[in-house]
Amino acid sequence: MSSFGRQINSFHKEKVVAKILVVDDDEGMREFLEIMLAREGYHVTTAPDASKALNQCKKQKFDLILTDLKMPKVDGIEFLKSVKEISQEAIVILITAYASPETAVSAMKEGAYDYIEKGFNIEDIKTIVSSALDRKGVKREDALFIKEVADAVSFGNMIGKSKGMLKVYSLIKKVAETPTNVLILGESGTGKELVARAIHENSPRKNMPFEVINCGGVPESLLESELFGYVKGAFTGAYGDKSGLFEIARGGTIFLDEIGDLPPLLQVKLLRVVQEKTFRRVGGTEEKKVDVRVISATNKNLEEKVKEGSFREDLYFRLNVIPIRLPPLRERKEDIPVLTKHFIAKCSKEFNKEIRTISSYAMELLMKYPFPGNVRELENIIERSVALETSNIILPDNLDLSGALRESGRFTDMDIPDDGLNLNEEVAKYEKQLIEKALKKAGGSKTKAAEMLQVSFDSLRYRIEKLGAV
């Protein structure tokens, strides 16, 4: 860096907002960019070629890199590729005197943020750099938020600190402050309503109503009046006017669960509310204005339903402004222990019991179970276990994981006799056979047998004692 550049950076020390690396074999261009960017308050480092620039990148992280396209030995595109290998998040802007559509396409494919033609206007480059750093700032904010919650295990009423859930938390934080419609996607039991509530409770509407309706759980004949209300005399039994959920939720949020089950006629009426912010009560003629945020959820593939013609495409795009996908529990196994601990504490309090933990063997079984019913199923399993447990620790005997057998496919060739069979006894027999085979293969070594069966030594010993395996 030139002495002039160092003086300017020193002068702007308190205003430094980012670290920028300038790479150009033209000394005059390097010094010009250094001075101009330093005057903007940035901390500027320069390099005359790609090799020296890469060494700089290995020593420290830069918020933004400005590099010439045409340089001796290694050009800007190759340098860009090397930079991305060091840091995928690096923001790189190419400077070229030979701009062309092919150049732009090639640069963007390799991950460039933008490119600038030499002879550029100073204000233009300031704007591009500022815009790029704003983008970097958003990324840093997200990363900071994820770091803050990484040590925690909950957000709102949601539990979990897996990477998938941290992304969900981060997205909730961003969309909550906007009035945008949100579509929550996820299998049954993943906690879609909890996400909707978290969005509402972190939004400017948090002190206003939050109304919920399951579009698949209300008969079609009643669903319209539940959503939009009705006027006196609209149908038999309508002895007075009644407000629907869109009126009750005025100024707040309405959560439409299982939106994929909404009948075609109501899809048309919902589209009108979402687009025009107006609706009519059943049997009424008065247009009612309403300010309500719409959050929807589904466990179905709405894109497929649109292709089939059973769900309106225009409504789908109106509702799916920002999608949030909730990962199933089988994709975030690391959350099972903390969820289990939470449900044990919750159920122990409800049942007035002193159960505080779960045995290691029981936890191993939970970790291997696929949980087709997701978090809701885990809660039900723990609730049953706490209810049946007579000691102060949950043991495997009280875990009902029979669904795991269906998933494993191990017993698909077994016939069930007409008079039935005892599932627990059959599972125990199969488990005992596997343990005895492993012990035989391991020459009687429990340590080796445990490794073969991928369980802990204590877990194997417990099973041997329980099953009477030899």
pLDDT-derived band at 429, boundaries 50, 70, 90:
confident
Is residue 315 over pLDDT 90? yes
Average pLDDT score over residue span 305-332: 93
User: What does pTM read for this prediction?
Assistant: 0.58
Looking at residue 133, its pLDDT comes to: 82
C-alpha neighbours within 13 Å on the C-beta side of residue 264:
5
Q: Given this structure, which CATH class describes domain 154-327?
A: alpha beta
Helices (H), 151-242: 163-176, 192-201, 220-228
Q: Which fold has domain 3-140?
A: Rossmann fold (3.40.50)
Q: Which DSSP letter does residue 289 get?
A: E
Is residue 14 over pLDDT 50? no
Q: Which DSSP letter does residue 25 get?
A: S
What is the domain partition of the chain in residue ranges?
3-140, 154-327, 328-408, 413-470
Residue 1 CA, chain-centre distance (Å), reads 43
pLDDT in tens, 138-173: 555 556 555 555 555 777 889 998 989 999 998 999
CA distance 45 to 453: 56
Residue-level length of the chain: 470
Strands (E), 14-117: 19-23, 43-47, 64-68, 92-96, 114-117
Average pLDDT score over residue span 109-121: 75
> CATH for 413-470?
1.10.10.60
Residue 173 near residue 142, CB atoms below 8 Å: no
Give the lowest-confidence range in 5-9, 78-82, 95-99, 313-317: 5-9
Looking at residue 98, its pLDDT comes to: 61
CA distance 265 to 10: 67
- Residue 65 pairs with which residues in a beta bridge? 21, 92
**Fold match flag (154-327 vs 413-470):** no
Q: Which fold has domain 328-408?
A: Helicase, Ruva Protein; domain 3 (1.10.8)
Most confident region among 14-18, 67-71, 133-137 by mean pLDDT? 67-71
Is residue 384 over pLDDT 60? yes
Percent of the chain exceeding pLDDT 90 equals 35
Vertex 467 angle, CA 427 and 372, to 5°: 35
From the list 193, 202, 134, the residue with the least C-alpha distance to 173 is 202
